[in-house]
Amino acid sequence: MGSALVWAAIPHNGDGVVFQVRVIRGLQRFHIPRRVLEEAFDLAPRASDAGQLELFYRHATHILSRAMRKRPIAGADTAAFQTLDFTPVVEVAQAATTLPSETEGYLASN
């Protein structure tokens, strides 16, 4: 998977990381916005460009595997990631179904 990465860089506006990987039928460009790096990978707010790249390379294996699933066949556009692309489905489902128990107060008074 590591050989699939062609390059990674910070865009001119400093918003996240843009990278290119080798996929079926060519090369595909991806963008992970700073917000996604902060929410999914705990990037520090106001992290430097070097900090964003360091975080990207630290999690490169995971990020590249998600990239290959998101866009396995090359397209002409830049595929953008969302936070949910890095959140396990089970975690999302648990968060959606976890509600405070309405009977906690009732049970505590017995």
108 Cβ contact list (under 8 Å, min separation 6)? none
pLDDT for 99 equals: 55
Instruction: Retrieve residue 65's tokens.
Output: 């595997």
pLDDT for 87 equals: 80
- Report angle CA 22, 58, 45 to the nearest 5 degrees: 115
Instruction: Give the range of the structural domain holding residue 79, as residue numbers without chain letter.
Output: 2-109
pTM for the whole structure: 0.76
* Average pLDDT along the chain: 84
51-87 per-position pLDDT tens digit: 999 999 999 999 999 999 999 999 999 999 999 998 8
CATH number, domain with residue 97: 3.30.160
pLDDT for 95 equals: 57
Report the domain count for the chain: 1
**Pairwise pLDDT comparison (103 vs 4), residue with the higher score:** 4
